[in-house]
A and B are shown apart, each in its own frame.
Chain A
Amino acid sequence: MIFEQLTLKDFRQFSGEQSITFATDPQKNVTVIHGFNGAGKTTLLNAFTWLLYGEFSPDFDAPEHIESEAAFAVLKPNARLMVWVKAIFRDGVRKYTAERVATIEKDAHGTRRVVASGTLRLMYIDDSGEAIEPNNPQDTLEQMLPTRLYPFFFFNGERIERLARADAYQEIGQGIRTLLDIELFDRAIQHLEGEPARRLRQDIAQRAGQEGQIAQDELNHLTESREEVEEKLRQAEVNRAALEDEREAIDAKIATMPDLAKWQAERKAAEDKESALLLQIKQRKTELAKEFSRNAFLLLAPDVLKEAKILLEAARQKGEIPGPIKRQFVEDLLIRGKCICGSNLTPGSKEYEDVDQWRQRCLSDAMEASVTVTQARLDAFDQRISDYSQRVQDIQRIRDDLQTQLQRTREELSELSVKIGNREHGEDPAKLERRRREIIEEITTLRLNMEMKRAELANINEGIRAKIRQIESLQLADEEGKLAQRRLDAVSNVVEVLRQIREIRFAEIRDDLSVLLSDVWGGIAIKDYQARLDDGFCLRLTKEIDGQEEPVRGASTGEKQVLSLAFVGALSAKARSTFERSGQAKNLFRGGLYPLVIDSAFGNLEIEYRRDVAKWIPNLSPQVILLVSESQFRDEVAHELLPRIGVEWILKCETRKNTSKDITVRGRKYPYVIQSNDKYERTTFEEVEL
């Protein structure tokens, strides 16, 4: 979706019919729109979202009044005012025109009435050059960019930090899954394993008599149980995220209280230490488990080894080992039929019997070699047992030491909690701290419950798999039944292939997004934090503490904004690269071209962040439309963006007040705020000469 032109007709402060064009050249893909406060920057952002989805952002004031104040004022009684927004854009090879129209009526008494709140029309030119108007324009638009995902691409930069919050994992996960095709595979697997597979299994079970029916009933029961447990787990995860968020909000509040800020900082440090210690204890436990699985049998060995040593020693003392003569030597004498003393060894003779008894007593060469090796290894075994015991003791000692440190850290945290919650600091901190303790308790209980539910789910899933195997292996005689089995096999095979492709795609996306995110963040961030997208789709900042990667707690709003922007950019870039390769993937992955339309992109950021965001943004998305105030577009931003700006506009704001202000862009002065000729406020577009 690459915008070429937007036309507004009597939409809020944009009186009359006015058009604005956008940069579409890949090398100069940035459009900058300058506007004074109240000139209509947020209105323009909302013109996009209203046109495409009939929705407005939460910061768009009085969304029920979208018509121009001036146009309505001059409207005659019983007349109607058409308000519309129209866009020309490209999506893939097609060029579209989208238009949403609202009709406002002024009745005989001058009262305003909404006749139609926004009707959408969409047209495109097809491959043969014919204009097509889809019957379901909203559906067609939604296929390009679903409603729930537009906030990734049309947003206010000052509010984008929400993506870095703990509870944003669902929103982020949804974005990644839908835009990068994972959702498609998940749905296909879920749908195929749902109704079609159920229907086929029922068919097979019905044709297999009582055995089939019983198995089907049991499967139905297990499936219902699974749905219940999954729903409970989903709810618990939502609750846990909300509690984490509440705790973070409480910490932020306490950190701003002058008397408590120092203790809160100490608590944050102690909590970081607690996390690091827990991680290290976990690692030691893993090491111990590995040692046990590899070498625990050695603990049983000493008695066996002792006995083996006694037996070998006894044999040695008896002269049985090493053998006084070799068996091969004795066998050769018997074959030759002559002893070394010169006696003939005739089978059955006494001499033969005597020598043959020696043969029985001799160890074979292989046996003798084994005895020699065993003797040598017995000592090595002793050393191995001793080394193993030493290693286990060392790990246990480190673990015990870590646990002591953890205990101390937890005591410290408990003391800090008492200090912070002391009523002498006032009722508010005491209440906040009390709530914080409750939250920690609730989170602990929730996590325990979730673990239990996960174990229950694993059991149920195992039961379901067993039942499915049972039904699928039922023997059927009739043709209908065999066809059902063949279809069920096809469904299973396709599901398996979808699952494998999904895994490949997911791993690729996770790796690529992590690299992109890390690159963008690394290019912008001042601190040495790392940006991470974990497997649960949480955006995280981490830092290294004592060689361990630990989460950053209490990142600033600016840092969260940059992290969120970096993520949106990475998502857009990955969607674009997928789109560019879509022809090679047998239509399995589609991706897309998505613009970034950002109001107040550099709002609260420090100079260094503004400069680096400005440097990165044009590379992330095929089209970038920035709505900025004069203070947001200062030298450092202008300098970085200049080579990438294709089109630049000024929102010339007419106000009733006797005032005027100019803006200098590219060395030229343009009227920015002027006095209105009548009593109405309005805004007009003025293109900057490049």
Chain B
Amino acid sequence: MSQDKTATDQQNKIRSILENLTKEEQQFLSRVVSAEREKLYMQRPRGINEELWRALTETIK
């Protein structure tokens, strides 16, 4: 029960933090998280810099 409450509090806090970003920045963050998750299993994630650069230049124009 208390873990449920903690989880809800956590979600609310995160939601309000995300709202500080512009729509473009939120989109950029979402792409960053997806790219990192895909390569999380790799000790040295190959090509991550290129993917992040692409995400940045495609979302912040």
Contacts and interface: CB of A to CB of B under 8 A. Distances in A.
Nearest to A195: B49
A191 B59 CA distance: 17
B49 A196 contact: yes
Contacts of A497: 17-18, 20-21, 25, 29
B36 A187 contact: yes
A486 B61 CA distance: 9
A184 B18 contact: no
Contacts of B20: 493, 497
A469 interface: no
Nearest to B59: A490
A586 B48 contact: no
Interface string B18-48: 1011101100111011101110111101001
B56 to A, nearest CB: 6
Contact of B37 (A148, A184, A487): A184
A445 interface: no
Nearest to A578: B7
Interface residues of A, number: 41
Contacts of B57: 487
Given A143-B38, A494-B29, A508-B6, A195 B53 contact: yes
B53 A199 contact: yes
B10 A508 contact: yes
Contacts of B11: 584-585
A192 interface: yes
A584 B29 CA distance: 17
Contacts of B42: 142
B43 to A, nearest CB: 8
Contacts of B48: 187, 191
A129 interface: no
Interface in A166-219: 178, 183-184, 187-188, 191-192, 194-196, 199
A587 B33 contact: yes
A203 B17 CA distance: 29
B55 to A, nearest CB: 9
A500 B38 CA distance: 22
Contact of A487 (B18, B45, B56): B56
Give chain B's interface secondary structure class: helix
A588 B14 contact: yes
Nearest to A144: B41
B32 to A, nearest CB: 5
State the main secondary structure of chain A at its contact with B.
helix
A148 B35 CA distance: 20
B37 A590 contact: yes
B60 A487 contact: yes
B10 A188 contact: no
A27 interface: no
A196 B36 CA distance: 14
A535 interface: no
Contacts of B17: 497, 500-501, 504
A671 interface: no
A151 interface: no
Contacts of A590: 37
A191 B43 CA distance: 13
A254 B25 CA distance: 61
B21 A494 contact: yes
Contact of A191 (B6, B21, B36, B41): B36
Given A497-B29, A587-B33, A187 B21 contact: no
Given A493-B21, A587-B33, A195 B52 contact: yes
A522 interface: no
Contacts of A194: 49
Nearest to A496: B20
A581 interface: yes
A196 B52 contact: yes
B60 A486 contact: yes
B53 A494 contact: no
A590 B33 CA distance: 11
Interface in A475-493: 483, 486-487, 490-491, 493
Given A493-B20, A493-B21, 6 more contacts: A187-B48, A195-B49, A199-B53, A494-B32, A497-B21, A586-B30
The 9 nearest A-B residue pairs measured at CB: A142-B41, A195-B49, A146-B41, A490-B60, A188-B36, A487-B60, A494-B29, A184-B36, A500-B17
Interface of B: 3, 6-7, 10-11, 13-14, 17-18, 20-22, 24-25, 28-30, 32-34, 36-38, 40-43, 45, 48-49, 52-53, 56-57, 59-61
6 contacts: A139-B41, A184-B37, A188-B32, A487-B56, A497-B18, A586-B30
